[in-house]
C-alpha cells in the first residue's frame, strides 16, 4: 500500500490549488480516503473524507464551501480542490486511507486511518 500526494505549493490568499492522492498496491473501491493537515505547532486535523463505496463526503467546518473532495477511479486518485485559500490553510497536507470504517466512525479522525502518504506542503501568503 502506497499513497503519494502532490499538488502542493505556494499561493496567494484567495488562490486555488488542487491536491492529488494516488494509490498503488490497492484500489480505492472499498476504502475511505481522508485528507488531513498539520500546521507547525498544531495538532493534525481532519479536512475532508471520501467514502468510495457510497460516495459520501465529509468536510471540516473550516473548509466547507471552499474545498471539494473527488475521485477518479480510472487513475486511482483522489483530489482535494482548494479554493479561496486563506493563510490559515498553510500546512502539510496528508492523505490517508482505511477500510475499517464502521457505523458511527469518525471520518475526520486521524486515528481511524491505517495508511498515510508522505505529505505535501501548502503555503498561503497574505
pLDDT digits (tens, 9 = 90+) for 49-72: 999 999 999 999 999 999 999 999
Q: Residue 84 has what DSSP assignment? A: S
Q: How far apart are CA 107 and CA 23, in angstroms?
A: 19
Q: Is the pLDDT of residue 36 over 90?
A: yes
Q: Residue 1 — very low, low, confident or very high, per pLDDT cuts 50/70/90?
A: confident
Q: Which three cell numbers stand for residue 88?
A: 490559515
pLDDT at 30: 86
The pLDDT assigned to 46 comes to 98
| Pairwise CA distance, residues 40 & 124, whole Å | 14
71-82 confidence digits (pLDDT tens): 998 999 999 999
Of how many residues is the chain composed? 126
Alpha-carbon Rg for the chain in angstroms: 13
Amino acid at each position: 500500500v502506497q499513497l503519494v500526494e502532490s499538488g502542493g505549493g505556494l499561493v496567494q490568499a484567495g488562490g486555488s490549488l488542487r491536491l492529488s492522492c494516488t494509490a498503488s498496491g490497492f484500489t480505492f473501491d472499498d476504502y475511505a480516503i481522508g485528507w488531513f493537515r498539520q500546521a507547525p505547532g498544531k495538532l493534525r486535523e481532519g479536512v475532508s473524507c471520501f467514502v468510495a463505496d457510497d460516495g459520501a463526503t465529509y468536510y471540516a467546518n473550516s473548509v466547507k464551501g471552499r474545498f471539494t473532495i473527488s475521485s477518479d477511479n480510472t487513475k486511482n486518485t483522489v483530489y482535494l480542490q482548494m479554493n479561496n485559500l486563506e493563510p490559515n490553510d498553510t500546512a502539510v497536507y496528508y492523505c490517508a486511507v482505511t477500510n475499517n470504517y464502521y457505523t458511527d466512525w469518525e471520518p475526520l479522525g486521524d486515528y481511524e486511518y491505517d495508511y498515510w502518504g508522505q505529505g505535501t506542503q501548502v503555503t498561503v501568503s497574505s
